[in-house]
């Protein structure tokens, strides 16, 4: 009787062990397949990064390193929407990142229309000098998302997919109440284009659903959300912005952009980062990873996650 009970318990635990090992192996295999999908695609695709208003919130090295690890060396291009047409390379963890334009605060200080034309000039330069392909993907932060949307309409069948990070698709109340700031930072036209009334007309002229992307591409949105004590930015501007938006609209926000303005009908909202402010969206590598996953192979990744 004792031997029978021991045998039964041994059999039970053996089966459970086999099931657990099988589950772990299956999960690991899915993660490897997902990683291989990103790796394989990185050999074929190009990514362009577009900054936001006056380049006040620059891409962090950690963010850039993550894009390179996914897309591959020489496959990621950083564009600055200013008059500079200089091209250069930087080494990040032994991988080459490609640039066009001077990394300064004059980047992103013009209207959406002017920046979209500057973007096109930089794209042409990179295609001629740095082998940027004719069709590519974009990750754009803040106002850069609006520039990318306008670019897609002006140059159809070029952008294969776009992810916007904290982009004020419906504007920000800060642009109405602090228009004078644009004068002091030399970005009057840019600030004007971030007003809710301007973006209402912009969205009517250039709706997401009709965006002429290449190869049936999609537009995706990612947004952040922060509490006052967690917002600061490069000079305390996010703390001030969060306080103003919260008190005047009673809406959640990332320090500059109201929560409901960072999404828009027709785009696929893929992720909220509840502990990230507007600046964190270009600092944290997890944001780069999430955006890249959806751009590279949306259907494959979602099938794996079911």
The full DSSP string for 152-170 is: HHHSTT-EEEEEEES--TT
234 vs 268, which has greater pLDDT? Answer: 268
- Residue 135 · residue 159 · CB < 8 Å: yes
- Among the residue ranges 27-41, 84-98, 148-162, the one predicted with the least confidence is 27-41
Residue 84: which pLDDT band, with cuts at 50, 70 and 90? very high
Q: Does domain 43-305 have CATH number 3.40.50.1820?
A: yes
pLDDT at 176: 87
Give the helix/strand (H/E) hosting 76: strand 76-79
Q: Hey, where are the domains in the chain?
A: 1-36, 43-305
Residue 240: which pLDDT band, with cuts at 50, 70 and 90? confident
Q: Which of 28-37, 114-123, 240-249 has the highest mean pLDDT?
A: 114-123
286 has a pLDDT exceeding 60 = yes
127 has a pLDDT exceeding 50 = yes
Q: Phi, psi (5° rounding) for residue 75?
A: -110, -5
Residue 296: which of 27, 19, 39, 28 has the closest Cα? 39
- Residue 172 · residue 257 · CB < 8 Å: yes
pLDDT at 236: 83
């Amino acid at each position: 009787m004792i031997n029978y009970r021991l045998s039964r318990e041994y059999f039970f635990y053996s089966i459970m062990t086999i099931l657990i090992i099988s589950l772990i192996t299956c999960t690991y295999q899915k993660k490897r397949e997902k990683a291989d999908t990103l790796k394989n695609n990185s050999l074929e695709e190009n990514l362009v990064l577009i900054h936001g208003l006056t380049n006040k919130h620059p891409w962090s090295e950690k963010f850039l390193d993550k894009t390179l690890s996914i897309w591959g060396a020489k496959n990621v291009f950083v564009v600055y929407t200013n008059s500079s047409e200089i091209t250069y390379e930087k080494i990040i963890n032994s991988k080459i990142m490609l640039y066009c334009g001077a990394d300064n605060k004059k980047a992103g200080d013009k209207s959406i229309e002017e920046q979209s034309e500057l973007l096109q000039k930089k794209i042409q330069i990179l295609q001629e000098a740095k082998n940027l392909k004719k069709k590519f993907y974009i990750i754009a932060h803040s106002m850069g998302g609006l520039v990318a949307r306008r670019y897609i309409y002006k140059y159809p069948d070029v952008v294969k997919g776009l992810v916007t990070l904290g982009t004020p698709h419906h504007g920000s109340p800060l642009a109405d109440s602090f228009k004078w700031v644009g004068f002091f930072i030399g970005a009057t036209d840019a600030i004007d284009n971030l007003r809710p009334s301007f973006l209402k007309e912009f969205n009517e002229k250039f709706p997401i659903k009709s965006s002429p992307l290449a190869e049936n591409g999609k537009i995706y949105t990612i947004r952040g959300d922060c509490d006052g004590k967690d917002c600061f930015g490069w000079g305390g501007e996010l703390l001030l912005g969060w306080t103003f938006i919260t008190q005047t609209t009673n809406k959640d926000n990332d320090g500059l952009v109201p929560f409901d303005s960072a999404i828009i009908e027709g785009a696929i909202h893929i992720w909220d980062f509840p502990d990230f402010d507007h600046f964190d969206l270009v600092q944290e590598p997890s944001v780069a990873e999430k955006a890249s996953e959806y751009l590279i192979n949306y259907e494959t990744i979602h099938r794996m996650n079911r």
